[in-house]
Amino acid sequence: PFFAALERLDVIRVETNRLVGSEHQGTGFELLDVLSAHQEKAFARLYSWVQDQAGNLDTEAAEADPVMQKAVQTLYATPTFYKHCQDIVISVRKVTVVKNFVAALSYPGGEAGEAAPRKVRPLDVHANDPVRYASDMLAWTHQCVVTEREL
């Protein structure tokens, strides 16, 4: 309902712009002011929600949330909010990816502090074979890039 209301607000703004070009300019400008205030408030609330939700992106198994993607796409209309959202998501994911890479190098199963390690060996096990070690790191990086693209 939130995104539908924002889309409806855009439609109303387009229709109101027609009033500005007609004999009802005063009314058109008043309506545009009110609509702009509502739209700015909606974008601010959406930005705040994205900030709160960014904390959920700090897990290795973070999945692409369609609502989050729609929120960020919607904020694209306001470059300042969009840039801040990008920065927040990037910083959270950067910390998570680095932490997961270090864990994949060093810990059985790939996660630090894992109670019951899986049967996956840390990448450091093959450190004595440079080609295998580099290949494993590149494979991990490739998988990570694919996952991050989906987010």
Tens-place pLDDT, residues 42-80? 999 999 999 888 877 767 655 678 888 899 889 998 999
Q: How many CA atoms lie within 13 A of 52 on its CB side?
A: 7
What per-residue confidence (pLDDT) applies to 43? Answer: 94
Residues 6+ apart with CB under 8 A from 124: 105, 106, 133
What per-residue confidence (pLDDT) applies to 146? Answer: 86
The token pair at 74 is 């919607």
Contact between residue 111 and residue 103 where contact means Cβ atoms under 8 Å apart: yes
Better-predicted residue by pLDDT, 113 or 101? 101
Average pLDDT over residues 132-140: 89
Average pLDDT over residues 16-30: 82
Using CA atoms, how far apart are residues 118 and 121, in angstroms rounded to an integer?
8
Average pLDDT over residues 16-26: 80
Least confident piece of the model among 12-16, 17-21, 75-79? 17-21
Residue 109 has pLDDT above 80, yes or no: no
Least confident piece of the model among 85-89, 105-109, 133-137? 105-109
Query: At 110, is the pLDDT very low, low, confident or very high (cuts 50, 70, 90)?
Result: low
Contact between residue 148 and residue 93 where contact means Cβ atoms under 8 Å apart: yes
CA 76 to chain centre: 12
Using CA atoms, how far apart are residues 93 and 38, in angstroms rounded to an integer?
32
What per-residue confidence (pLDDT) applies to 115? Answer: 46
